Structure 1
């Protein structure tokens, strides 16, 4: 628990230091331009990569393949875009690295032993597992209708609560 806290406290200091170093090297306006450009690049890359990830997730679900890798790739792309959108050069470097598929594959290999995907596969894709003693009946809209029941007219309905204070 201490490591994330330390990183959370050190990251802003590293970003401020990077602003100062880059600002001294290239000037204030080019530094601000790079910050805006990295934010725009993060939004654009997220839109381009995000659509591709969604297509790959859908195709893997249709094939009945474990979607864990694609889910991790999607999460890492979201983190990468967030790092690019948030101002800071150190975060931008990490964000750009996360947009590289090989880096995401390395992260997947590190994360894979710690992830368990719990679902059942069906011919149409993933289905959530239901208990064996399932008593739920799924009905379509045309298989039922809503009508006021006998309790809706009954003031003594158990769903209305006690009649204390009503006249």
Structure 2
């Protein structure tokens, strides 16, 4: 929680500082125009990259493959779009990192390297199943589906 508090305090302060500094160099109206230009450019880039990512995800699904990378890229696109619509130059910079294909893929791979994802068959799990007992945060269990019309 302290990390979020630090972000909510430092990011707006950094935005204000940078906007004031840029405004002193190029003027107030050009600074506002720059913010509007980055928002419009970001919206166009978001639309184009979003459609490309959706097409790749659909292609993977058609081939029977899980579009995991494309789903994470979609998350990065949403984050980038939100950041670009937020007024400020710092958030615009981070937003463009999320929207540009090569930096977005780098971010996704960085996130994937930090995640531990296990995919395997469901059911029948017990102490003898592969991977059981490896992670103390994994709780083995069973479930039964009960539909309303079977009660």
TM-score, structure 2 length as denominator?
0.73
- Look up the SS of the partner of 2:65 in the other structure: coil
Corresponding residue SS for 1:96: helix
CA contact (8 A) 2:49 2:101 kept: no
Structure number with larger C-alpha Rg: 1
The aligned counterpart of 2:104 is: 104
Q: CA deviation at 1:69?
A: 0.7
Cα deviation, residue 47, structure 1: 1.4
Instruction: Structure 2: give runs of 5+ residues left out of the alignment.
Output: 122-141
Matches within 5 A, 1:14-163: 14-113=14-113, 114=115, 116=117
**C-alpha contact (below 8 Å) 1:42/1:82 kept by paired residues:** no
**Number of residue equivalences:** 127
1:96 to partner: Cα distance = 1.4
Whole-angstrom CA distance in 2 between matches of 1:100 and 1:111: 16
Root-mean-square deviation (CA, aligned residues, Å) is 2.5
1:105 is displaced (CA, Å) by 2.0
Shift of 1:134: 5.8
8 Å CA contact retained: 1:45, 1:81: no
TM-score normalised by the chain length of structure 1: 0.67
Long gaps (5+) in structure 1:
121-130, 137-167
Higher helix share: 2
